[in-house]
Structure 1
Amino acid sequence: MGLVRAVSDPNIRKHLLRDEGEVIVDEVRKHRVVYLVPTLELVAAGALLVAMPFVDMDLAWAPFLLALVVLAHAGYRALGHHMDRFVITNMRVFRVHGVLSQQLATMPLARILDITVRKPLHGRLLGFGHFCFESAAQEQGLRDIRYVGDPDARDLSIQRVVQRTGLRGPRVN
């Protein structure tokens, strides 16, 4: 179980600045719609396995091998989506992603100038959207966060944290 967890858990907590008082406000996983393509690949692999008895026995290895490749690809894509996490803390936002090698992109709350929430029609129907972070830097590692579930609530969460830290000036009542 330890190996499975080590491969399938992005371990967000190890990236926190605990001695500085950093706490997680929200940990955002990708919306479940991203698992549609791996699921279709899984169905295609199943269809290849079902078709094996109807193929000449001398060539039965070909659909079996193809099914294994499709299954491995579907599993890798699904694991990649599972490992992709966007985290909002009281000090910064960061994204951890990657299966075999992990990448971490971080941005302090003070550097966030603008957040654009894009919700395409199918995203509005299914409940997801995409974030686009703007900062003073030209190119940053944390610009587009795609397939965020309930993007309006997540945007309000970020705005609330920014307001509480006092980065945008005092609150007017």
Structure 2
Amino acid sequence: MAGHSERHGPGVPKELDRYLVPSEQIVFLLRRHWVVLAEPFITTMLGLVLLAVVSARVEDTFETILTVLWLLLLCRLIIVAWEWWLELVVATDKRLMLVHGIITRQVDIMPMSKVTDMRYDRTVTGQIFGYGKFVMESAGQDQALSTINYIPDSDLHYQQISQLIFAPGEPRLMQRSGSGSSRVPVSEPEQAWWRRKN
């Protein structure tokens, strides 16, 4: 993923030029929330503390076994962090993509035109740390990408995806309802009676 995209500008990995068509516009590009690294990091640190405490009280053979086990935890942390760094969530004006995998790169997509409904979940920890989960439903068929968890700044990205799915690019009039101050987007038909010319 070295280098930047010539087509989409700085900050966009060159790798994405292989997956995006020239007419696509990137709405957002992000990595999952850092909280996915919390458990491997805490486990590795606790293992190190345990190794430091126990190694002074046990035989050399048992200390070697504990050291090897801790090195396995460290390797796991490095692999999870590397995978987190390489994984990208990309939303364009045409589709939602998840690019992932270390050795075999995989691209899961959900075309925006296929999304019929979308659920937005925020657990208690998600509300505390600022991440959420998107669950998308499509019309009558399974898609490669239906759930994305650990989305940072999830309120903002939910609004951006909702705009793409439910109000794609057309100018909208905002009509105030008579009972309250809420606004409802209204799309006027092209051939409405008040637009017809006699």
**Residue 100 of structure 1, CA deviation:** 2.5
**Residue 47 of structure 1, CA deviation:** 2.4
Normalized against structure 2, the TM-score is what?
A: 0.71
Give the AA of the match of 1:127.
G
CA separation in 1, counterparts of 2:40 and 2:18?
Answer: 29
Structure 2 residues without counterparts, runs of 5 or longer: 3-12, 175-198
Do 1:35 and 1:78's aligned partners in 2 also have CA atoms closer than 8 Å? yes
Greater per-residue helix proportion: 1
* CA offset digits 1:50-102 (Å, max 9, x no partner): 24344312433211111111111122222223333211012211111222222
Do 1:86 and 1:95's aligned partners in 2 also have CA atoms closer than 8 Å? yes
* CA offset digits 1:97-127 (Å, max 9, x no partner): 2222222111221111111101112211221
Q: Does 1:122 align with 2:150?
A: no
Structure 1 residues without counterparts, runs of 5 or longer: 3-8
Q: 1:15 maps to which residue? A: 19
Q: Which one scores higher on RCO, CA 8 angstroms, separation ≥ 6?
A: 1
Count of aligned pairs = 161
The change in CA–CA distance for 1:23 and 1:82 in structure 2 (over 3 A counts) is: same
State percent identity of aligned pairs: 27
Do 2:110 and 2:146's aligned partners in 1 also have CA atoms closer than 8 Å? no
The change in CA–CA distance for 1:37 and 1:13 in structure 2 (over 3 A counts) is: farther
CA separation in 1, counterparts of 2:14 and 2:55?
Answer: 37
* CA offset digits 1:137-164 (Å, max 9, x no partner): 4322111100111212101111233424
**Residue 131 of structure 1, CA deviation:** 0.2
Give the AA of the match of 2:98.
R
Do 1:48 and 1:64's aligned partners in 2 also have CA atoms closer than 8 Å? no
Q: 1:28 maps to which residue? A: 30
Secondary structure of 2:109's aligned partner: strand
Q: Does 1:171 align with 2:172?
A: yes
Do 1:116 and 1:132's aligned partners in 2 also have CA atoms closer than 8 Å? yes
Greater per-residue strand proportion: 2
Do 1:34 and 1:147's aligned partners in 2 also have CA atoms closer than 8 Å? yes
Normalized against structure 1, the TM-score is what?
A: 0.81
Moved more, 38-47 or 127-136: 38-47
**Residue 45 of structure 1, CA deviation:** 3.7
Q: Does 1:141 align with 2:144?
A: yes
Give the AA of the match of 1:17.
V
